[in-house]
């Protein structure tokens, strides 16, 4: 019986595969990869001139794991890392896993209050940090917090770089501090660690309230990295360019663990995303795969030097993290030679990927859906009452299986809000599922615009406006309206050198989309407010628009 025949007509599906889930810890799997591919290139960090084989990476990871034990850290202790993409980040990822420590990813964009909150929420005992990033002086922030007694649990601060800072340890010193006794302890620990142990805490950027610490296990992220890599048909011959942040699942799970589980090479073009550095890395390192959010691909395609780079080595990759504009997807396939590019969809709480397109799915499927469910995962789409909706109808996307987080750290109430009694993670995303099980994300539950009783999905209007030849990027939001409850507002970024008027954009929509979907307000902007991972912050756009247009008064009138 095939999957298509077996599928009921409700929006439910589950992924099947001849490949079983990996029942191992990250450390055990890491050791096997090192053995199998000892002389092959494992990690290339271009801005640090690092080029390590799997054997060299394995040696350094074991040294750091032993070094961390000299600090008196015990299994289950939390170790934070606050740094852009570096070789040390990757060493920390694998070394903490081998030492049974929980790695806490700290967003490089965090400032003082956010760092203080995150460190104390999970009671971090050690923090590895870069000296600074852009305008943020990390050393100063941490020194101030420690001096003011704001980080009572923090016992060790480990800084990157050669300079010394009073009261702090140097990463390279910690990495070489472990002796035979510590190395023996790491070996003794290996069989004691369990694949269901918590291994990683990632803070989800809450748009309201404090961020929540999604707690992930070896089993969660090792398997997700493996099946995402399987979806790309990765092999030891592949070289994956990773310009996305490591502190996020896209970098450390889909990137690093995707490579680990396939013996592929990890290539970091720069410490934070830079379109030119990414193009150079792909061309010079002969990368076969490239990751990015849509804004990153747009920045590369629009770079004035784009045509100078030979990108023919590219085969595949993933565009994810935000809805992928169809026109951008087509350009990535044709201009960047990524014929097998896939779209993936997920969230931090689900390790992260739940659905992914196949490399050989028809182009229409790959540009208009986020693919089908990954192996060993269940998905369903439900209405506001929690009932599974018929295929083709819109509802909230839910997922269940090995990929669902252990919970939000130290926050039972928030965990219960997100994961129901039957183990389903409620994503807050609106989706549809077609007859073949392909999923389309139509927006966020909270982004949906209700105009005069009509449900308006911003994604649909965005896709239409992308077709306008002058439009480079567009984001659609709902703003308060006295008469209809909400009105449609489009923020438009034009291609360089172009100008346009509100009337011109509305005329383009006339007769093409329903009248209630045509934007009432149009803002031409140079950039969109976004997070460090490239996610558009629609709530910020909404606030700014309300203030600029004076809509608050209307709403309360």
| Residue 4, domain member (yes or no) | no
Let me know whether 486 and 390 are in one domain.
no
Are 89 and 127 members of one domain? yes
Answer yes or no: do 152 and 111 share one domain: yes
The 10s digit of each residue's pLDDT in 376-407 is 999 999 998 999 999 999 999 999 999 999 99
Taking a C-beta distance cutoff of 8 angstroms, is the pair 45, 86 a contact? yes
Mark which of 390, 405, 430 sits at the end of a domain.
Answer: 430
Statement to judge: residues 166 and 113 lie in one domain: yes
Is 299 found in the same domain as 399?
A: yes
Asked whether residue 435 is domain-assigned, the answer is no
pLDDT in tens, 228-287: 999 999 999 999 999 999 999 999 999 999 999 999 999 999 999 999 999 999 999 999
Q: What are the φ and ψ backbone dihedral angles of 341, each rounded to 5 degrees?
A: -65, 145
Predicted confidence at residue 556, as pLDDT, reads: 32
Q: How many domains are there within the chain?
A: 2
Per-residue confidence band for 552, with pLDDT thresholds at 50, 70 and 90? low
115 and 85 in one domain?
yes
228 burial level (CB within 10 Å; 0-12, 13-18, 19+): buried
- The CATH number assigned to the domain holding 462 equals 3.30.300.30
State the pLDDT at residue 207: 44
Would you say residue 137 lies in a domain? Answer: yes
Structure confidence at residue 313 (pLDDT): 98
Question: Could you tell me the residue range of the domain that residue 537 belongs to?
Answer: 447-556
Residue 1 inside a domain? The answer is no
> What is the spatial distance between Cα 365 and Cα 368, in angstroms, rounded to a whole number?
5
Q: Considering the domain boundaries, does residue 523 fall inside one?
A: yes
CA distances (Å), origin 320, targets 60, 214, 239, 259: 31, 19, 19, 17
Nearest to 119 by CA among 149, 78, 88, 77: 78
| pLDDT at position 126 over 60 | yes
Which one of 402, 430, 458 terminates a domain?
A: 430
Indicate whether 401 and 454 sit together in one domain.
no
Q: What is the mean pLDDT of residues 163-171?
A: 97
CB 53 within 8 A of CB 41: yes
230 in a domain, yes or no?
yes
Same domain for 535 and 508: yes
Closest to 521 measured CA to CA, from 506, 536, 539, 543: 506
- Alpha carbon 395 to its chain's center: 23
Residue 8's pLDDT is 58
486 domain residue, yes or no: yes
Mean pLDDT in residue range 78-88: 98
Please, what is the angle between helix 138-147 and helix 112-121, to 10°?
A: 60
Whether residues 377 and 486 share a domain: the answer is no
* 205 pLDDT tier (thresholds 50, 70, 90): low
Residue 347: strand, helix, or coil:
coil
pTM: 0.87
Mean pLDDT value of segment 421-430: 96
């Amino acid at each position: 019986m095939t999957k298509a025949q077996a599928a009921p007509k409700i929006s439910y599906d589950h992924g099947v595969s001849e490949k079983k889930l990996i029942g191992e810890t990250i450390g055990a799997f890491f050791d096997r990869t090192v053995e199998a591919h000892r002389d092959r290139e494992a990690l290339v960090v271009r801005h640090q001139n690092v080029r390590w084989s799997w054997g060299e990476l394995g040696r350094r990871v074991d040294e750091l794991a032993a070094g961390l034990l000299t600090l008196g850290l015990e299994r289950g202790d939390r170790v934070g890392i606050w740094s852009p993409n570096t070789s040390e980040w990757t060493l920390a990822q694998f070394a903490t896993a081998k030492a049974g420590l929980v790695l806490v990813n700290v967003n490089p964009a965090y400032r003082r209050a956010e760092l203080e909150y995150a460190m104390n929420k999970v009671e971090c005992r050690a923090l590895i940090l870069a000296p600074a990033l852009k305008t943020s002086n990390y050393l100063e922030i941490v020194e101030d917090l420690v001096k003011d007694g704001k980080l009572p649990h923090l016992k060790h601060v480990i800084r990157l770089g050669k300079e010394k800072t009073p009261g702090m340890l140097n990463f390279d010193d910690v990495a070489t501090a472990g002796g035979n006794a510590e190395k023996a302890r790491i070996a003794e620990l290996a069989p004691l660690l369990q694949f269901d142990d918590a291994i990683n805490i990632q803070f989800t950027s809450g748009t309201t309230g404090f961020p929540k610490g999604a707690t992930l296990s070896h089993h969660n992220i090792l398997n997700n990295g493996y099946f995402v890599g399987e979806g790309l048909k990765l092999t030891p011959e592949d070289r994956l360019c990773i310009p996305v942040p490591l502190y996020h699942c896209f970098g450390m799970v889909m990137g690093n663990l995707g490579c680990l589980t396939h013996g592929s090479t990890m290539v970091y073009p720069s410490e934070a995303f830079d379109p030119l550095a990414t193009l150079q890395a792909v061309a010079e390192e002969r990368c076969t795969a490239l990751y990015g959010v849509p804004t990153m691909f747009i920045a590369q395609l629009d770079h004035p030097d784009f045509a100078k780079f030979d990108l023919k080595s590219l085969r595949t990759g993933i565009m994810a993290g935000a809805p992928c504009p169809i026109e951008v997807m087509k350009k990535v396939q044709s201009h960047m030679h990524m014929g097998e590019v896939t779209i993936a969809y997920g969230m931090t709480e689900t390790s992260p990927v739940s659905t992914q397109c196949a490399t050989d799915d028809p182009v229409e499927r790959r540009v208009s859906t986020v693919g089908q469910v990954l192996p060993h995962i269940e998905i369903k789409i439900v209405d506001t009452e929690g009932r599974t909706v018929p295929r083709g109808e819109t509802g909230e996307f839910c997922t269940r299986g090995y990929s669902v987080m252990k919970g939000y750290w130290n926050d039972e109430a928030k965990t219960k809000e997100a994961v129901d009694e039957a183990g389903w993670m409620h994503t807050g995303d609106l989706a549809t599922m077609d007859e073949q099980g392909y999923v389309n994300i139509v927006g966020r539950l909270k982004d949906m615009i209700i105009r005069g009783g009509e449900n308006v999905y911003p994604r649909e209007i965005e896709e239409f406006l992308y077709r306008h030849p002058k439009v480079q990027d567009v984001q659609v939001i709902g703003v308060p309206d006295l008469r209809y409850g909400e009105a449609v507002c489009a923020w438009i970024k034009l291609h360089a050198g172009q100008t346009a008027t509100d009337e011109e954009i509305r005329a383009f929509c006339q007769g093409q989309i329903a009248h209630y979907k045509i934007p009432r307000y149009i803002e031409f902007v140079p950039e969109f407010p976004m997070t460090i991972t490239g996610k558009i912050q629609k709530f910020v756009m909404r606030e700014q628009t309300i203030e600029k247009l004076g809509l608050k008064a209307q709403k309360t009138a």
